[in-house]
Each structure stands twice: as C-alpha cells, then as structure tokens.
C-alpha cells in the first residue's frame, strides 16, 4: 500500500517563511499534467485475496531415446497444454509478473525450461513448441555450446535461430556446469559473468537476466554473486508453485523425466492457476479507450482492486481525472478511492455514460515526492468496473496564506 500521509505535513504561515514561499511559487507556475494508463508500470490490478495466481515452471533435459525419453511423450504433454488452454511464458514475463503484477496469468500458465542445451532442444522442443505458439527457455552451459561430449549440444547458430524465431530463449546455466557452492570467489564470478557475457556476445541484442543453478545447488553467497553479475532471477530444482511472493533468486521447478507418467504431468501442471473470473481482464471491445486497451472486473468480485500510484512533482493542489469506456453493462457506482495528503476520498462514478473523455473527480493536496494512489474496486459495484487511465492536473501551489513544506 502507498504511504498515507494524513496529518503528517507541516503547514506554516506564509509571513513566517516569505522567501521560501516565493521560491516555491516561482518553481510551481508551469502548467503540468501526468497521465497514467493501465499499461504503465505505475498501474497494477490484483486478484482477489486467496485466489492469487500461481505459475508452474517445468524442467526438462534431453528429449530423445538417448536419454530414455520418447519424443512422443513430450509432444503429448505439449498437446495437453494446448488443448487445455495453457499459456507459456518467458522468464522475462515471469520476472515482470513477480515484480510488478504485469503480465497477469489470465489463463493457467507454465514456464517450459530445458537444461544443458542438448541438441534435442533444437530437434524436438523447438518444432513442437513452435507448432503450438509456445515459448521456452534453453538454460545453457556456455563452455559446451556446439561441443559433443557424451551428448551433442546446440551450437550458436541453432541457438540464435531459436532465439530470433521467438520460441526458445537461451539463458545461463553457468560456463562449465560446476556445483557453484564449492567454488572460490574468483571462479564463481568467472562461471556467472563469463556465461552471461558469452550469451550476450553470441546473440546480438540479447540481455541475459536469468540463471539456472547447475545441480540446483546454491547458497547465500552464490545468490549475492549472481545478482552482482547481473542476474535478476535464478531457478532451482526444488518443486513449488511460483507466486508473486516467490524470491526471485529461488524460483522452484518441477522436473519432467523420461518415466513421468501423463497422469503425474497433468496433476503437476494443474497447480497452475489463473482465470476463474476474479481478475481484471484486458479488453479493447469498446473503442474509446485510452492507449491500447482497458481492464475490467465484474461487479461484486470481492477483493479485486486496480491501483494507479503516483509521486507528484511538486507540492500543492492537483485535480484527479479518470478515463473509462462506457456501456450499459457498467457500474453506476464505480468507487474510485483517492489517497491524498489529507486522507482518502471515495468518488462514485457512473460508468454507463461519459466514457471516452476525462471525468474530473476532484482536487486535493499532495506532497512532492510522496507516494499516493487512486484505487478502483469492484466489491460493491452494480456492474462491470472499468480501469483505464487517470490524469493528474496541476491546479495551484498552495492554498491562500499557507506554504506546504516538502516531503518528510
């Protein structure tokens, strides 16, 4: 929750601080407005409490007979996901969801990861994923790219082809696949930074942000070194559903092995939630939306909340305007709660009309640099509630006779 600054600001008479007041006034004369759309990072919309989505990350290795794996089993698993409405995410999407809530898992979502860069990623996984419009991650130990050991490994040409096709994204599995917890500081850094650098050098335009710990082995020192080397997430081999509370450097995975029966696969991926009708859904059905789309939640969905957060660039009075798309199925009482310097004010908006335009809620005092919010809920709304954009409009620096001091 944004901090509520109720009662915390100091107001003094202008006569006591005349020079400061004049300085603030001079700095505040420029007209300003700030628009926050539902696509902006300052906007989030959340599921109802107790029904937070969970994402399942799957871990594969080799996919053909040389690993005891029947490629037909893998193809059947992917077909199951496609037939049952599963979505697949990249690690960047998983990171974005954990950090900001966007994107949301609007249908059951899995992340398909493949360790050790075996050639079967290219020969089996790549065409299968591509046929379903799925994406996956190829966790690669970069010292073995294109090298034949007991098994063949993809080379940089194959890796780049999968990457540029937007199907399999290569991320780090260290350089030589050691147990990272046993290494000296300098070796640990070489394994982590070297692998990342090799990936970024060989895949033009690539930023490598994600790591899979070899053998799933890690500790606090490994995490610290990995973060310093530029990794933003790391996956383990500990099974567990990923939620927005999951630590970014300890993302659990479920292993899928040659002997994993279809029934076990189905029960594993059924841990992925999403959908269920309580989250905010993106739509473009009504054309008069701000920017690319808007989001909606049905009236009566307890706990569903959409939030726009902002930090005013200067202290004073700002007007809050809201934008939505109207329709006869909308709420006549959509509640916008404006959190401002003097408390919270709830405005009820009739969204059955007046859409496709800025509608003014009211004007309030805000302190420069502090965090405030506008929150729209659906609990007691009598129709669909629409979250699209809000606008802050600068009104005036200070009320007559008062100077507002800056953020405390």
Residue labelled with tokens 């500990």: 238
Nearer to Zn ion among residue 140 and residue 370 (C-beta): 140
Least distance (Å) from Zn ion to the CB of residue 173? 6
Q: Assess contact for 174 and 189: CB atoms under 8 A.
A: no
Nearer to Zn ion among residue 104 and residue 116 (C-beta): 116
Integer CA distances (angstroms), 277 to 92, 306, 343, in order: 25, 15, 32
The C-alpha atoms of residue 89 and residue 92 are separated, in whole angstroms, by: 8
Q: Assess contact for 212 and 249: CB atoms under 8 A.
A: no
Considering only 37, 104, 116, 191, the residue that binds Zn ion (CB under 5 A) is 116
What phi, psi does 196 have (nearest 5°)? -60, -45
Which residue's C-beta sits nearest to Zn ion?
A: 115
Least distance (Å) from Zn ion to the CB of residue 370? 47
Least distance (Å) from Zn ion to the CB of residue 207? 22
Nearer to Zn ion among residue 253 and residue 330 (C-beta): 253
Least distance (Å) from Zn ion to the CB of residue 170? 14
Helix then strand count (H, E) for the chain reads: 9, 22
Q: Which of 400, 92, 77, 395 is nearest to 251 (CA)?
A: 92
Least distance (Å) from Zn ion to the CB of residue 61? 7
Q: Assess contact for 392 and 33: CB atoms under 8 A.
A: yes
Nearer to Zn ion among residue 116 and residue 388 (C-beta): 116
Nearer to Zn ion among residue 115 and residue 171 (C-beta): 115
Residue 171 within binding range of Zn ion, rule CB under 5 A: no
SS3 142: helix
- Do you find a cis peptide bond into 103, omega within 30 degrees of 0? yes
Nearer to Zn ion among residue 60 and residue 372 (C-beta): 60
Least distance (Å) from Zn ion to the CB of residue 219? 18
Site size with Zn ion, rule: CB under 5 A: 2
The C-alpha atoms of residue 93 and residue 97 are separated, in whole angstroms, by: 6
Least distance (Å) from Zn ion to the CB of residue 190? 18
Binding window for Zn ion (CB under 5 A); candidates: 111-119, 225-233, 363-371, 397-405: 111-119
Q: What is the token pair recorded at 382?
A: 């009598």
Considering only 115, 191, 279, 326, the residue that binds Zn ion (CB under 5 A) is 115
What phi, psi does 217 have (nearest 5°)? -90, 125
Least distance (Å) from Zn ion to the CB of residue 143? 12
SS3 166: coil
Nearer to Zn ion among residue 250 and residue 350 (C-beta): 250
Name the DSSP letter for residue 379.
Answer: T
| Residue 202 parent element (H or E) | helix 185-202
Least distance (Å) from Zn ion to the CB of residue 362? 58
Nearer to Zn ion among residue 171 and residue 317 (C-beta): 171
Binding window for Zn ion (CB under 5 A); candidates: 108-116, 126-134, 228-236, 307-315: 108-116
Least distance (Å) from Zn ion to the CB of residue 141? 7
Q: Which of 233, 240, 242, 308 is nearest to 274 (CA)?
A: 242
Nearer to Zn ion among residue 115 and residue 326 (C-beta): 115
Site for Zn ion in 40-99 (CB under 5 A): none
Q: Assess contact for 168 and 135: CB atoms under 8 A.
A: yes
Binding window for Zn ion (CB under 5 A); candidates: 9-17, 50-58, 110-118, 309-317: 110-118
Q: Assess contact for 198 and 231: CB atoms under 8 A.
A: no
Residues of 262-289 as b/e, b for ≥16 C-beta within 10 angstroms? eeebeebbebbbbbeebbbbeeeebeeb
Binding window for Zn ion (CB under 5 A); candidates: 24-32, 107-115, 323-331, 390-398: 107-115
Binding window for Zn ion (CB under 5 A); candidates: 45-53, 114-122, 124-132, 322-330: 114-122
Nearer to Zn ion among residue 151 and residue 358 (C-beta): 151
The C-alpha atoms of residue 14 and residue 28 are separated, in whole angstroms, by: 16
The C-alpha atoms of residue 101 and residue 308 are separated, in whole angstroms, by: 13
Binding window for Zn ion (CB under 5 A); candidates: 15-23, 116-124, 255-263, 377-385: 116-124
Q: Which residues bind Zn ion (CB under 5 A)?
A: 115-116
């Amino acid at each position: 929750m944004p901090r509520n600054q109720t009662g915390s600001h100091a107001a003094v008479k202008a006569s006591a601080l005349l020079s400061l007041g004049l300085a603030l006034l001079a700095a505040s004369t420029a007209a300003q407005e700030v628009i926050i759309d539902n696509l902006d990072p300052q906007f989030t919309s959340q599921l109802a409490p107790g029904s937070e989505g969970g994402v399942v990350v799957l871990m594969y290795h080799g996919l053909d007979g040389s690993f005891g794996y029947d490629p037909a089993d893998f193809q059947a698993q992917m077909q199951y996901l496609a037939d049952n409405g599963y979505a697949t995410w990249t690690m960047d999407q998983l990171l974005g969801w954990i950090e900001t809530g966007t994107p949301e898992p609007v249908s059951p979502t899995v992340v398909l990861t493949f360790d050790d860069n075996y050639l079967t990623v290219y020969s089996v996984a790549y065409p299968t994923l591509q046929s379903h419009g799925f994406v996956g991650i190829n966790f690669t130990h970069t010292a073995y790219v294109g090298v034949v050991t007991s098994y063949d490994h993809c080379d940089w040409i194959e890796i780049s082809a999968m990457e540029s096709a937007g199907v399999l994204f290569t991320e780090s599995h260290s350089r030589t696949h050691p147990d990272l917890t046993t290494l000296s500081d300098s070796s640990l850094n070489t394994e982590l930074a070297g692998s990342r650098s090799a990936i970024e050098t060989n895949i033009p335009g690539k930023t490598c942000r994600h790591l899979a710990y070899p053998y799933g082995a890690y500790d606090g020192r490994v995490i610290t070194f990995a973060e310093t080397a530029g990794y933003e997430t790391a996956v383990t081999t500990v099974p567990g559903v990923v939620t927005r509370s999951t630590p970014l450097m300890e993302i659990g995975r479920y292993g899928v092995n040659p002997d994993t029966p279809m029934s076990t696969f189905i029960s594993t991926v059924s841990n992925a939630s999403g959908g269920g009708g309580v989250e905010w859904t993106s739509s473009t059905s009504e054309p008069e939306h701000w920017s690319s789309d808007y989001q909606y939640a049905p009236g009566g969905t307890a706990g569903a909340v959409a939030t726009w957060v902002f930090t005013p660039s200067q202290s004073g009075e700002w007007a809050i305007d809201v934008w939505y798309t109207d329709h006869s199925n909308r709420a006549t009482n959509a509640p916008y709660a404006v959190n401002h310097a003097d408390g919270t004010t709830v405005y009820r908006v009739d969204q059955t009309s007046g859409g496709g335009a800025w509608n003014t809620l009211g004007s309030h005092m805000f302190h420069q640099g502090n965090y405030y919010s506008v929150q729209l809920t659906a609990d007691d709304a009598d129709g669909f509630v629409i979250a699209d954009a809000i606008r802050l409009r600068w009104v005036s620096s200070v009320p007559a006779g008062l100077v507002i001091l800056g953020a405390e």
